[in-house]
Amino acid sequence: MGFSVGLASFIVLIGFVAIFSTVCTAFFTSVQDISYTANEYVSNQMDKINTQMQLTVDSVSSTATTVTVKNVGSKTIFLQNSDGYNWNTIILAYGSGSQWHSYAIESYTVSEIKITSTNTSLNTATHNYINPGEQARLTLNLPSGAPEIASQDIVSVTFASHYGTTASSEGAIA
């Protein structure tokens, strides 16, 4: 009886050690995953905090709108890569009363990039981003099939950056 009690106790001890090591491994893996997720969240929030923009509607016509986006934050805002992929979406909404039209526009034209408060323009072919202290003039054309902007319509433009921040402004046909 003495040997069987010792053997049974050893088997129970091995079981407790196996269960304890499984629980500890799961706990440490969970803590590691939570730590990684929290760091990613903080990093994304810092990108949003450091990305600050101002948008101005410069002109509105019946089929196009020109806006200026100023980078007043500390992060670079990328506009297009070498393949012409647009990193940001511009939401154009226009109408009056209860009749509104809204379009997500990703094929905008970068007309000019310059240093804010100067006349120094940069080459849009090679400088396809907005550094802090720079601004870009963008031209948005209505998608094909979209009704024209009427003279009494209010135009609302929202620039949504790839960081998840936005800048908005309104305008009308002058």
Give the percent of the chain with pLDDT over 70. 97
Q: Secondary structure of the chain: what % helix, strand, coil (to 5)?
A: 30, 40, 35
Mean pLDDT of 110-134: 91
Task: Return the pLDDT at 82.
Answer: 63
> What distances in angstroms separate CA 25 from CA 6, 92, 137, 152, one per listed residue?
28, 51, 55, 66
Please check the confidence at residue 66 and state whether its pLDDT lies above 80.
Answer: yes
Asked if CATH classification 2.40.128 holds for the domain at 52-171, the reply, yes or no, is: no
> With bands split at pLDDT 50, 70 and 90, how would you rate the model's confidence at 2?
low
**Which of 4-13, 28-37, 86-95, 163-172 shows the lowest per-residue confidence on average (mean pLDDT)?**
4-13
Task: Return the pLDDT at 1.
Answer: 57
Task: Return the pLDDT at 98.
Answer: 86
164: left (phi over 0), alpha (psi -120 to 50) or beta: left
Core vs surface per residue 17-36: b (16+ CB within 10 A) or e: eeeeeeeeeeeeeeeeeeee
Confirm whether pTM is higher than 0.95: no
CA distance 70 to 77: 10
Q: Where are the domains of the chain?
A: 1-50, 52-171
> What distances in angstroms separate CA 162 from CA 42, 117, 132, 135, 139, one per listed residue?
16, 25, 16, 16, 18
**Which of 17-21, 84-88, 153-157 shows the lowest per-residue confidence on average (mean pLDDT)?**
84-88
Please write the tens of the pLDDT for every residue from 94-105.
998 888 999 999
Mean of the per-residue pLDDT values of the chain: 90
76: left (phi over 0), alpha (psi -120 to 50) or beta: beta
Strand arrangement of the beta sheet that strand 154-160 belongs to: 99-105, 89-96, 154-160, 166-171
Please check the confidence at residue 14 and state whether its pLDDT lies above 80.
Answer: yes
Please write the tens of the pLDDT for every residue from 23-39.
999 999 999 999 999 99
